[in-house]
Amino acid sequence: MFTIGDPLIILAQQLINGLILGSIYGLIAIGYTMVYGIIGMINFAHGEIYMISSYLFAIFLALVGLFGVSSVPVALLITLVVTLVITGLYGFSVERIAYRPLRGSSRLAPLISAIGMSLVLQNFVLLSQGANTQIFPSIYEGVLRWSMGSKDNFVQITYIQAMIIGVTVVSMIALNILINHTPLGRACRATQQDRTMANLMGINTDRVISLTFVIGAAMAAVAGMLITFNFKSFDFFIGFVAGIKAFTAAVLGGIGSIPGAMLGGIILGLAESLFAGLVNTDYKDVFAFGLLVTVLVFRPTGILGQPEVEKI
């Protein structure tokens, strides 16, 4: 890492770190925001889905290795596809088991069920995989450095961090095409606007809701794989804090809006990194939660959100 160096270098480095952290938050936040947009509830189990995807990624990479696939890109590609599919299936199952039977009940019921589901997923992984921190192998090591003046003053970005930004951009483009330019996406948007009406127009809204959960879980899986790649360690508890942070990002950007989720994620990531780098590392989570409360009090609709009009 950078050693000495003037504040400007530290600032630049923290901005890069924040951007990477923010991309991850943004990817997870998409799951929250899409689900909230369509059925108006917080999927508390979403953070755990992200955690499970980390495990799936490491497990399948090891499995592919055991089957004798020696080429790293091929192994990664296979693992990527399998992890995406299975994580999507987790999202689907969570919705089927815990949320669908509760549609149309009181507001509190799906929330409590969601918290229960999050406890279940967390402890399910804890019991099957153990509590110890898992180590992920190092692949694609290397850094890009920009020296500033002297040799010791530099800003760096690892290959993996560059990849995180690249993959995030690609997934956002893919999601954008899916939502705005396909019949499936049109059904999604119609359901978000008015579920009853969409149903009357012949859209299978149950299927759209399932699809939303699958897309959200897939995005969380992308985030989970990237973060595993980057930090090379994970445990069963990573979903909890990541979940709250990503929710903060979704609220910050305006819940219900997909570009807002990404924007909120990046803003939160930058703010948190700057706070950690320039003020205090111990209280960075406190800062993030404080930001959440501030946004909810002063601008509950977030940056890009539509004001919610309550009809009586």
| Interacting residue ranges for another protein, rule: CB under 8 A | 36, 40-42, 44, 52, 55-56, 58-60, 62-63, 66, 86, 89-90, 93, 97-98, 101-102, 105-113, 115-125, 127-130, 134-137, 240-241, 244, 247-248, 251, 282-283, 285-286, 289-290, 292-293, 296-297, 300, 310, 312
Q: Give whichever of 107 and 151 is closer to another protein, judged by the CB atom.
A: 107
Nearest to residue 249, comparing CAs of 225, 267, 237? 267
Q: Give whichever of 134 and 156 is closer to another protein, judged by the CB atom.
A: 134
Q: Give whichever of 8 and 89 is closer to another protein, judged by the CB atom.
A: 89
Amino acid letter, residue 178: L
Q: Give whichever of 141 and 282 is closer to another protein, judged by the CB atom.
A: 282
**CA–centroid distance for 310 within its chain:** 29
Q: How far is the CB of 105 from another protein (least distance, A)?
A: 6
Nearest to residue 124, comparing CAs of 93, 103, 99, 81? 93
Nearest to residue 218, comparing CAs of 102, 97, 134, 92? 92
Q: How far is the CB of 1 from another protein (least distance, A)?
A: 23
Q: Give whichever of 121 and 203 is closer to another protein, judged by the CB atom.
A: 121
Q: Are 75 and 57 in contact (CB under 8 A)?
A: no
Residue 94's contacts (CB-CB under 8 Å, 6 or more residues apart) are: 43, 45, 49, 117, 121, 213
Question: What secondary structure letter does DSSP report for 155?
Answer: E
CB atoms inside a 10 Å sphere around CB 298:
7
Q: How far is the CB of 125 from another protein (least distance, A)?
A: 6
Q: How far is the CB of 167 from another protein (least distance, A)?
A: 22
Q: Give whichever of 128 and 150 is closer to another protein, judged by the CB atom.
A: 128
Number of H helices, E strands in the chain: 11, 4
Q: How far is the CB of 41 from another protein (least distance, A)?
A: 6
Q: Give whichever of 32 and 154 is closer to another protein, judged by the CB atom.
A: 32
User: How would you label 73-94 residue by residue, b for 16+ Cβ within 10 Å and e otherwise?
Assistant: eebbebbbebbbebbbebbeeb
Q: Are 269 and 18 in contact (CB under 8 A)?
A: yes
**CA–centroid distance for 200 within its chain:** 33
Q: How far is the CB of 120 from another protein (least distance, A)?
A: 4
Q: How far is the CB of 165 from another protein (least distance, A)?
A: 27
Q: Give whichever of 185 and 224 is closer to another protein, judged by the CB atom.
A: 224
Give the integer Cα–Cα distance in Å for 83 and 61.
Answer: 10
Q: How far is the CB of 211 from another protein (least distance, A)?
A: 16
Mark out the alpha helices in 5-141 (DSSP H runs). 7-39, 46-66, 72-94, 108-129
